Amino acid sequence: MSAATDGDLRDERTLQTSPLRKLLARPELGSVVGALAVLVFFALAADGFLRAASLGTVLYASSTIGIMAVPVALLMIGGEFDLSAGVLVTSSALVSSMFSYQMTANTWVGVGVSLLVSLAIGAFNGFVLTRTRLPSFIVTLGTFLRLTGMNLGFTKLIDGTVSTKTIADMEGFPSAHAVFASTLTLGGVDVRVTVLWWFALVALGSWILLRTRAGNWIFAVGGNQDAARAVGVPVARTKIALYMGVAFGAWVSGQHLLFSFDAVQSGEGVGNELIYIIAAVIGGCLITGGYGSAVGSAIGALLFGMTSKGIVFAEWNPDWFKFFLGAMLLLATLLNAWVRKRAEATK
């Protein structure tokens, strides 16, 4: 091989490992820029935004979205949506509460039954999707409507009202509260345990995407499922697992909802599925699938938390929150598109 050819190969290898190219190729780059801009903006506009107590509040608001945004992001990378994710959070809380109360069982029994029911609903969504080849929009919209009706119907049938009975005095409640709804003091900052759940799910999601064969399957299925199937990727199994992942996130969020207030309103959760999707999109996930990251979804959730609480700290009218959320979604999408073009231009 000639010296010139050797030099060309060395140059190509250098280009492939360029730090700038790696940075531009990261899906979450746009959301990082957006998060820094929002942080600086509210640090200047809102007194006390950077205080330790405010940080704990922002992290808590972010974690309640981030716990669901991580599995939703993985599902979107796999090329699908779940419009039932928001109401499934309420369903998991209702099952846990009503089973524990009606069966006079330890609250941990209700928590376990709720996990099985939630995973079964997720598996059902994935199974119907893969068997019928219907769009995920239709499949999960149907689940959303069924769960909405069942939440209200069963709660009224069993408890006679639109909310469950309190389970605060039942055996196992203190330990379940500690796992799902407690507050820890770390470095002088009060941190809700949901923040730890959130960080753990981000770490798990990143490991799956970047370090396992299943992560390769998720990207392949989201990029082109027919091509993925042709090279031996278990498309159906991957999509069912992704929907079950969303169901697991809904179970964690549902238990937090229950053990924070010891009772649940049957109509809660409607509309939250859009917030989870927004957080994932702001974090760099593409609507078309095949691109995104768990870390990006976490940054998208952090943007949501900073904006929602920053408006309060700045003493602005909270009615403007949805306006800022929509603006962030549009700007993040445009920035992510620009980042992808720059990344492709460096190849």
Q: What is the 3-state secondary structure (H, E, C) of 280-296?
A: HHHCCCCCCCCCCCHHH
Instruction: Look at residue 16 in the predicted model and tell me its pLDDT.
Output: 53
Q: Which pLDDT belongs to residue 1? A: 42
Of 262, 260, 324, nearest to 64 by C-alpha is: 260
- Position 2 scores a pLDDT of 43
What pLDDT is recorded for position 344? 59
Task: Output the six-digit token pair for 138.
Answer: 């239709």
> What pLDDT does 15 receive?
45
Q: Which amino acid appears at position 161 of this protein?
A: T
Those residues whose C-beta lies under 8 Å from the C-beta of residue 337, and which sit 6 or more positions away, are none
**Residues in the chain with pLDDT < 70?**
1-25, 27, 336-337, 339-347
pLDDT at position 319: 77
At position 259, the amino acid (one-letter code) is F
- pLDDT at position 145 is 95
Q: What is the DSSP letter of 92?
A: H
Position 232 scores a pLDDT of: 93
- Round to whole Å and give the CA distance between 18 and 347: 10
pTM of this prediction? 0.89
pLDDT of residue 5: 43
Cα–Cα distances in Å, from 146 out to 84, 152, 158, 258, 281?
9, 10, 18, 21, 26
Token pair for residue 260? 């924070």
- Residue 143 in tokens: 């689940």
